[in-house]
Amino acid sequence: MSQLVLITGGAGFIGSHLADELLDHGLRVRVLDNLALQVHGEGGRRPDYLDPAVELIQGDICDPQAVRGALRGVDAVYHFASAVGVGQSMYEVVHYTRVNNIGTAVLLEALIENPVEQLIVASSMSLYGEGLYRTAGGEVRMVGERSLEQLRRGDWDWRDEDGTALQPVPTPESKVPALASVYALSKLDQERLCLMIGRAYGMKAVALRFFNAYGPRQALSNPYTGVLAIFASRLLNDSAPRIFEDGWQQRDFVSVYDIARACRLALQTPAAAGQVFNVGSGTSYTVREIAERLADVTGREHLRPEITGKYRVGDIRHCYADISKAREVLGYAPRVKLDEGLAELAAWLEGQAAVDRVAEASAELDARGLAL
């Protein structure tokens, strides 16, 4: 009989695509998910997009009984259950710490009692903080956090001693974490806990640091989800995407199909055990460009992005992935070009409705002094 794989948080965006990928390659899939209101909306019903072959157990990752039940007969675990969102994590500290840190601890205690062969945890590029930079003289440099004084005068870029702007370069897994948010801290804890316990109890553990994922099934009414889904929600409601700073900050946008394939490769590659991998496209795009391109492919060219000139606490300027390690060890190479991915996303969006909660989320940040 084929392997039985558990995906915690598997009814969500990335988890459901991973379920499809695993089913397509002959594995059996079980999902543990609490169908959270912020992600799945009212009612807590099984998502229509979740393949009927997936066994869904509705339960909380912090509930030891639910976790132990979900683990029965399982050969491998993908730990995706997580509260997601940099801004929200800075004021819902207990919630993020409970779900991400305590939830991981509950899972690991259950696995200590009944170890599985493999444990793969979804980590995040957010734990890098700023990416790496290069000076005009060619020196690669790590930077810290921009000062509030610099941000208040709208000087967004990192600069050399002579005032020359530093140029971002791809960020490898070897970069020392620089934690700028509660969310980033919790993802680093998840990653290290899983690798630590995996090594101690003979489970082949792998951590995958996802960059900015996009594609069908994102939670469009969640104002703390991925930036492309937030932009899509605005556009569906005939509102311009809102962008912090000047819009020239650079990020790595990777198709959810590429992420799902990288996750499967991590399961099927013995040499991956005990290691950490970036999963991205390896290409940088400005946030302004992404907003404009999404508006174009959805037929809303007139909705040019609104550049707020504001700074959100916990945000960084530039970061995109060096994926050479994943290429070498996992055989991973992104296949979905951005144009193709945005076109598919636009086609999916035609049949979707979204509640635009961006203004509400922004007001929360403003009221707490987290947007300057």
**pLDDT in the model for residue 129:** 94
Query: Which of 194-198, 220-224, 236-240, 346-350 is most confident?
Result: 194-198
Beta bridge partners of 8: 32, 79
Q: Are 123 and 191 in contact (CB under 8 A)?
A: yes
Mean pLDDT of 185-195: 97
For the chain, list the domains and their CATH numbers. 4-131+171-310+318-367 (3.40.50.720), 132-169 (no CATH)
Determine the Cα–Cα distance for residues 52 and 324; give it in Å rounded to an integer: 36
Residues with Cβ within 8 Å of 255's Cβ and at least 6 positions away in sequence, in order, are 213, 214, 215, 281, 334, 335, 336, 341
Of the pLDDT bands very low, low, confident and very high (cuts 50, 70, 90), residue 194 is: very high
What mean pLDDT do residues 164-189 have? 95
The mean per-residue pLDDT over the stretch 273-301 comes to 96
Residue 343's pLDDT is: 95
As a whole-number percent, the residues of the chain with pLDDT over 70 amount to 94
Residue 371's pLDDT is 63
Give the integer Cα–Cα distance in Å for 363 and 365: 5
Is residue 93's pLDDT more than 90? yes
Residue 354 pLDDT level (bands cut at 50, 70, 90): low
Could you give the C-alpha distances from 117 to 16, 61, 142, 207, 241, in angstroms and in order? 22, 20, 37, 15, 44
Lowest mean per-residue pLDDT among 38-47, 72-81, 228-237: 38-47
Predicted confidence (pLDDT) at residue 79 exceeds the cutoff of 70:
yes
| DSSP H or E segment with residue 76 | strand 76-79
Looking at residue 313, its pLDDT comes to 78
Q: Predicted confidence band at 163 (pLDDT cuts at 50, 70, 90)? A: confident
User: Residue 224 — very low, low, confident or very high, per pLDDT cuts 50/70/90?
Assistant: low
What percent of the chain is modeled with pLDDT above 90? 79
| Residue 362 scores a pLDDT above 70 | no
Lowest-confidence segment of 56-60, 124-128, 368-372 by average pLDDT = 368-372
Q: Mean pLDDT, to the nearest integer, of 114-119?
A: 97
* pLDDT for the residue 44: 78
What confidence tier does 48 reach under pLDDT thresholds 50, 70, 90?
very high
In the prediction, which pLDDT does 33 show?
Answer: 97
CA 210/CA 124 separation, integer angstroms: 5
Task: Give the pLDDT score at 296.
Answer: 96
Arithmetic mean of pLDDT over the chain? 93
